[in-house]
Amino acid sequence: MGALGQSVGMTSSDPTPAEALQHPVSSETAAGHPPGRRCFGDGDPLYERYHDEEWGRPVHGERELYERMTLEAFQSGLAWITVLRKREGFRAAFADFDPAVVAGYDDHDVERLMGDAGIIRNRAKITAAIANAQALLDLHGRGGSLDAVFWSHAPDPGARPRPRTFADVPARTPESIALAKELKRLGFRFVGPTTAYAAMQACGMVDDHLADCPVVLAGVRPTA
């Protein structure tokens, strides 16, 4: 999980076993969750803020979605809190996720990032982040946008009842499978169906807060 020995050319159209097990909110990661508490994050202020203020709320914009997609890819095989604690380090290392800058990173930048303790130092994920910035610029050159690609795969909000337990939260869905397939077709890497679904959760394309979650009980509703 998260080993530096992963193949640089890995595209992950299918999730790895580690990816499936490390999904931020699913039945596999929720053992012992007490009713009436946050879906995740209780006890860690950084995690609590992310849960309360970001997770499940709609995200739009090229840089913003590129950031979320990149962070979800780096999370694969690791705990999400590990990524959150290094988020500012990632922003510094990847030029605040400006794809025009990251697309120009070369081998020297890869080695620089491999020596940066402020991020998760995984060569396959670093090279994928650079390749994805290049793919994003290519997409823009064809008149497209990452925002349109992502949100065209958003399911009908009323298609599934709000989950009551983590057993009701899928690790992947037909929409995430289709999104991962489309991203791969467009040249994006390291975004399999499970990572795509985690990004959909993080970007508010789906709202998987449990029915007894304080965010739900407080009546906080995501807005597009």
105 is an active site residue? no
Q: Is 209 annotated as a binding residue?
A: yes
Question: What does the buried/exposed string (b/e) look like for 135-162 if buried means 16 or more CB atoms within 10 Å of the residue's CB?
Answer: bbeebeeeeebbeebbbebbeeeeeeee
Q: Is 33 annotated as a binding residue?
A: no
| Single-letter amino acid code for the residue at 101 | V
64 is an active site residue? no
66, 80, 105, 151: which is the annotated catalytic residue?
Answer: 80
19, 62, 67, 72: which is the annotated catalytic residue?
Answer: 72
| Backbone phi and psi for residue 210, each to the nearest 5 degrees, phi listed first | -70, 160
Cβ atoms of 209 and 38 closer than 8 Å: no
Q: Which helix (H) or strand (E) covers residue 184, if one does? A: helix 174-185
55 is an active site residue? no
19, 47, 50, 151: which is the annotated catalytic residue?
Answer: 50
- Residues in binding site for Zn(2+): 51, 209, 213
Report, as residue numbers or ranges, the catalytic residues. 50, 72, 80
- Residues in binding site: 51, 209, 213
